[in-house]
Chain A
Amino acid sequence: MRKRNQYTTPLILYRVRKSLKFALLIALLMIYLIPIYGMFSLAFKPRAEIYSGLFELTRITLENFEEAYRYGAYSAITNSIIVTVGGVSIALILAVLASYAFSRFAIKGKNILMFYILSTRMMPPITLIIPIFIMFFNIGLKGTYLGLILVYAMMSIPLSIWMIKSFIDDIPKDIDQAALVDGHSTMFILFKIIIPMVIPGIAASAAFAAIMLWNEFLFALLLSGVDTKPTSVLLSSIRGERGFNWGRVAAIEVVYILPIIVLVFWLQKYMLRGLTFGTVRR
């Protein structure tokens, strides 16, 4: 048997501490994973067995998904994709241009402007909804894709600017200056040199914006129409003939979260970089 000495005791302590941390992490993970498992379980259960217990899954069926289709879930998912992709695209185009300007040009009151842009995100969205609703109603944007896309772009721009700017700040100004000495225009520098270098930043920013817009409910509820209703609004309005149809709700939710799971897995390395932006001096 190994003798206890000054070196083995801390090692044992280290292992105990590590095991405890691991157990704690597993417990925390379960808090998040159990509801997701429950959702998948409900979605694939036959309707008759819905109340048989969350973890019991005796037979797998797609009948809930068929019912979700009949209920219009797939057109709602399409609407969600349209407004999210539209909003993110417009936000990114404007954010890249603004970030480059903020990062590279001497703009008077730059810091105040940057703070102002960020402060628009600090405002509770509910305070904006009435003026936007009236404005969109008057100019015919209420109930249209374009209306939601514009609002979503407005919501995504501040964080995108802050995030993309931090990535551009990381690129040495010597690179822009080298291109200027070579004889290139500012547009060439932005599109051919800077943007390819900040693709990870743009991807991270796109992922965060997409997650935010995909889950957005308030503006979607008030500004979408019958044909442009996204999934978040559809989910809130589900009513069965005899109370709630949990299987159908779970099936819609499964389809609803899949694009986001795929997006997160696809862009996770960029998102991690995006989460730490501004925290490390580079």
Chain B
Amino acid sequence: MSKSEYVIQVKNIVKTYNGKIVLNNISFALKRGELLAILGPPGSGKTTLLKIIAGLVKQDAGDVIINGRIVNDLPPYERGVSLVFETLALYPNMSVYENIASPLIAEKKDKEYIDKRIGEITRLLKIEHILDRKADKLSGGERQRVAIARALAKEAEIYLLDEPLSNLDAKIRYALRTEFKKLKSLLGKTIILATSDPSDALALGDNVVLLFNGAIIQEGRPSDIYYAPRNISIARYLTGNILNEVSISIDTHGDDVSTDIGREFSIDPYFLKVLREVNETSIILTSYADVCIIDKFIENCSGIKVIGEFIGYEYRGSEYLLYARKERRIFRSLRTNLPNVTFGEKVEVCIPHRNALLFSSKTGDLIR
């Protein structure tokens, strides 16, 4: 593949602040029309990386290449990028119209063109009715849309979105997610989205880059990241720390399998074989809540089954998140209906071997 097929290449970017490394050897490349989600907890270096790409922060080492041209020394407006700031950075003294028109005024476009372009974008984002309002008189969702509209008004090669869905209530968040997908397919633009919310990254990204402490620890398609996280800390992060976990010790010479949830469990023979084959004496068995089953009776459990105590549930719109406890472990299961159990009642918990993830207890790395 020739270099020009990439709209943007980020090569070996290093950035330090006061001697502390905030970005360590970051590299990735994007083809036209792709959406890359940079996922990482707050303070992992996402905003700094986007600002380096935009030309607002100077990197210590490495190159930013846009359309085959090194742009390290170019000012922001000559790079062909547009940026939605995490803080939105709307001009509060200006109207919505003036905010969206800002990049077009800077490009010295004529009034007719500006009106036409603003009309198209505001219709797309459904904000054409607030054009006369001052930016500081808008609701959270409206402000977010105006910031996106201002970024889209600029004819850029690459759109950089820094936490565009943060601080929004769930309803607006889901609506904007759908709109992003629509925008991406309609406009065919290359987008880099930074987010600390795994669900946003997995839902929107064609590819996901996981940034922890200024370093890329995993990259790939959303399904690869979700179903094969390289490390247990990634799996915990992706689930918002509601991962079902069981520590298992295996005596490789005999049949003895012990867990941190006691000895009252049954294990599927095939799964036992799998556990022995991984050649580790101490592993952590994990499963996501959408895979784990909690019910009064589970007839066929092709994995590990334990008897626990039902301790509650959360209603999550279309689903219920069920909770059961066994020893000191809490298990969670996402179900579309509530089982016929009461609080404190005995329930069965099944972690099917299919989609269960095994991590090494020593290193935390994914085994299977």
Interfacial residues, chain A to chain B (CB-CB below 8 A) = 172, 174-175, 177-184, 188, 193, 196-197
Contacts and interface: CB of A to CB of B under 8 A. Distances in A.
Contacts of B103: 181-183
A178 B154 CA distance: 12
21 contacts: A172-B87, A174-B85, A174-B86, A174-B87, A175-B89, A177-B56, A177-B76, A177-B83, A177-B89, A178-B83, A180-B56, A180-B75, A180-B76, A180-B77, A181-B103, A181-B154, A183-B107, A184-B106, A188-B106, A193-B93, A193-B94
Contact of B102 (A179, A196, A197): A179
B95 to A, nearest CB: 12
Nearest to A182: B103
Interface string B150-192: 1000100000000000000000000000000000000000000
B91 A181 contact: no
B87 A181 contact: no
Contacts of A174: 85-87, 89
A193 B75 CA distance: 20
Contacts of A175: 89-91
A241 to B, nearest CB: 58
Interface in B224-258: none
Given A177-B85, A178-B83, A181-B81, 8 more contacts: A172-B89, A174-B86, A179-B102, A180-B75, A181-B77, A182-B77, A183-B77, A188-B106
A196 B93 CA distance: 7
B51 to A, nearest CB: 7
A201 B87 CA distance: 23
A197 B91 CA distance: 9
B106 A183 contact: yes
A33 to B, nearest CB: 39
Interface in B93-128: 93-94, 102-103, 106-107
Contact of A182 (B87, B93, B154): B154
Nearest to B98: A192
A182 B154 CA distance: 7
B269 interface: no
Interface SS of chain B:
loop
A197 B51 contact: no
Most buried by A among B54, B56, B82: B56
A-B pairs with lowest CB-CB distance, top 10 = A183-B106, A183-B77, A178-B89, A174-B89, A182-B103, A196-B93, A181-B76, A174-B85, A174-B87, A182-B102
Most buried by B among A178, A180, A197: A178
Q: Chain B interface residue count: which class?
A: 20 to 34
Contacts of B82: 181
Interface SS of chain A:
helix
Contacts of A177: 51, 54, 56, 76, 83, 85, 89
Interface in B23-52: 51
A181 B88 CA distance: 13
Interface in B57-84: 75-77, 81-83
B60 to A, nearest CB: 16
Nearest to B57: A177
B92 interface: yes
Contact of A184 (B89, B90, B93, B102): B102
A193 B85 contact: no
Nearest to A180: B76
Contacts of A184: 102, 106
B131 to A, nearest CB: 18
Contacts of B106: 182-184, 188
Contacts of A172: 87, 89
A178 B92 contact: no
A172 B93 CA distance: 14
B54 A181 contact: yes
A126 B154 CA distance: 58
A180 B89 CA distance: 12
A175 B135 CA distance: 13
Contact of A181 (B56, B90, B94, B107): B56
A188 B94 CA distance: 13
B150 to A, nearest CB: 8
B91 A193 contact: yes
A193 B93 CA distance: 7
A182 B54 CA distance: 11
A193 to B, nearest CB: 5
Contacts of B81: 181
A184 B103 CA distance: 8
A22 to B, nearest CB: 37
Nearest to B136: A197
Contacts of A197: 92-93
Nearest to B160: A181
Nearest to B83: A181
A180 B106 CA distance: 10
A282 to B, nearest CB: 14
A214 B62 CA distance: 58
Contacts of B56: 177, 180-181
Nearest to A189: B91
B30 to A, nearest CB: 19
B59 to A, nearest CB: 16
Contacts of A193: 91, 93-94
Contacts of A196: 93
Nearest to B78: A183
Contacts of B86: 174
Contacts of B76: 177, 180-181, 183
